[in-house]
């Protein structure tokens, strides 16, 4: 049985990535990092761990070439928003922190509201507010 999951992402500059994610509201567990080569970002109430590893370190244990995020998407990481206003506010924070908002806040399928962005390393994320009362059955 699986008890936890960690998401591991390669980054070009760990310090820059930490600063970006701090600016948009994420926190870090400083006890679970390896100096300048990694950072442990903690996401949500359940404490999902997103490890940010320097490219060279990540490549070493992944035993594979890194995806070129300027040419394709390796994954879309999604997280919730508490309201439409929270989604709008996060989009502003991402833009101010230097992220690329590739899909501005908008309604989708009549019951979701969200936006998409790329972090400084090109990893794609989206935040969604889901109004379950409006979801068609």
pLDDT digits (tens, 9 = 90+) for 14-61: 999 999 999 999 999 988 776 789 999 999 999 999 999 999 999 999
Ordered by where they begin, the domains of the chain are 1-58 (3.10.180.10), 74-137 (3.10.180.10)
Total-model pTM: 0.90
Residue 137 has pLDDT above 60, yes or no: no
Tokens of 28: 């870090």
What is the pLDDT averaged over residues 66-94?
95
Tokens of 51: 């490890």
Tokens of 129: 């507010």
Helix, strand, or coil (residue 28): strand
List CB contacts of 76: < 8 A, sequence separation 6 or more: 116, 124, 125, 126
């Amino acid at each position: 049985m699986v008890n936890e999951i960690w998401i591991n992402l390669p980054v070009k500059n760990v310090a820059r990535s930490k600063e970006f994610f701090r600016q948009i509201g994420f926190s870090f567990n400083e006890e679970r990092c390896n100096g300048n080569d990694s950072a442990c970002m903690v996401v949500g109430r359940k404490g999902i761990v997103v490890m940010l590893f320097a490219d060279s370190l990540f490549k070493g244990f992944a035993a594979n070439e890194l995806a070129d995020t300027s040419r394709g998407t390796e994954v879309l990481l999604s997280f919730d928003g508490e309201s439409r206003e929270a989604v709008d506010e996060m989009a502003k924070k991402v833009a101010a922190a230097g992220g690329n908002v590739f899909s501005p806040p908008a309604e989708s399928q009549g019951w979701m509201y969200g936006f998409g962005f790329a972090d400084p390393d090109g990893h794609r994320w989206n935040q969604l507010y889901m109004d379950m009362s409006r979801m068609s059955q």
